[in-house]
Amino acid sequence: MDSLGTVITLALLIAGVAFAIREARKRYREMRQSWLDAAQQLGLSAKEGSLRIPALYGSIGGVEIAVTHHSSDNSRYIAFKATYPPLGLGLKIAKDNTLKKLFGQLVGSDDIDIDTSTADEQLRIDGNDEAAVKAFMTPQRMKVVSEMVVRYPSTKITDSTISYRVPGALKTTDAIVTRVNALTETAAALRGSGLHRSMLSNTPIHDSPVATSPIHMGEHEDPTKESDAIVRPHPDDPPATPGSVAASTPAVSRPSRETAPPPPSRQSAPASNINAQDLAEEFFLGTRVSFVVEQAFDTEYAGQRIRWQ
């Protein structure tokens, strides 16, 4: 009986170990596939890591991404890191814990106080130039950075990198993609001002052609404006007959019944003794009605040239 019980016990142990190995392999295959799917979704390359789980490498929006697996002292963690061109500020941002903050107050901390929101109390910010860092860390950037540090307390931000660690393992595609997106979004917020400054430095002040002024002084006339010397025919004038030269004798503009007389036109031919100002006062400042003015004009001044002063 004892031997039979021992055999049954061993059989159960072997079966249990075999089941555990099979389940572990199944979970590994599922987790590995999650990392491969995340790499494809993010557009990154997947390479076999030290723990046989793929590591992710590549570039997203000009930011170099590296996600690697590590083990230390019987513990496992995943390292996330984003690398981008230096900001030129000597920037250093990390979570400010109570002990470090108290020690800094005692010895005289060199931290930069942005003083834009309560989020500043959670961050330890350093840089080469305090004024430059304050100008760079706008409320929008402070919000993005503080949210990153609160979500991932191990986050460290430098002039050209963002890095943090996640303990254990990530087994789903969504969990991996979410953490990589946190890197790229924070990097994009930090790089925004650098790209904006370079764009401003290369953009001319006038980014559209300057329109030609319609005002011309002196003899510099607008070439698009018709010359005042051109006299348009009046609707009541008889049509020109073949062989006649309409331009040889400039027509005199007739006064309109509803509008003021047109501006005087320049005449190249010699003027007669009829003064235009006297004519206008005679016809338009008197008591004559419009049709009488037109009849009198045709009768008294037909064919005459008017002298303008």
Calpha distance 217→206 (Å, rounded): 25
pLDDT of residue 245: 43
Higher pLDDT, 67 or 10: 67
pLDDT of residue 3: 78
pLDDT of residue 8: 81
> Is 39 within 8 Å of 53 (Cβ atoms)?
no
What's the pLDDT band for 193 if we cut at 50, 70, 90?
A: very low
pLDDT (tens digit per residue) in 30-66: 889 999 999 999 999 999 765 678 999 999 999 999 9
pLDDT of residue 156: 97
pLDDT of residue 21: 83
Asked if the model's pLDDT at residue 236 lies above 80, the reply is: no
What's the pLDDT band for 100 if we cut at 50, 70, 90?
A: low
Q: Is the pTM of this model over 0.75?
A: no
Asked if the model's pLDDT at residue 107 lies above 60, the reply is: no
Average pLDDT over residues 180-203: 67
CA angle 268, 271, 277 (to 5 degrees): 110
List the domain boundaries for the chain. 20-85+162-200, 86-159, 253-309
Higher pLDDT, 134 or 296: 134
Closest residue by Cα to residue 61 from 158, 172, 189:
189
pLDDT (tens digit per residue) in 157-180: 999 999 999 999 999 999 999 999
Average pLDDT over residues 21-27: 79
pLDDT of residue 244: 47
Chain position carrying tokens 């950037």: 141
For 137, half-sphere exposure in the C-beta direction (CA atoms, 13 angstrom radius) is 30
Closest residue by Cα to residue 42 from 189, 190, 194, 185:
185
pLDDT of residue 213: 38
pLDDT (tens digit per residue) in 273-282: 566 666 666 6
What's the pLDDT band for 261 if we cut at 50, 70, 90?
A: low
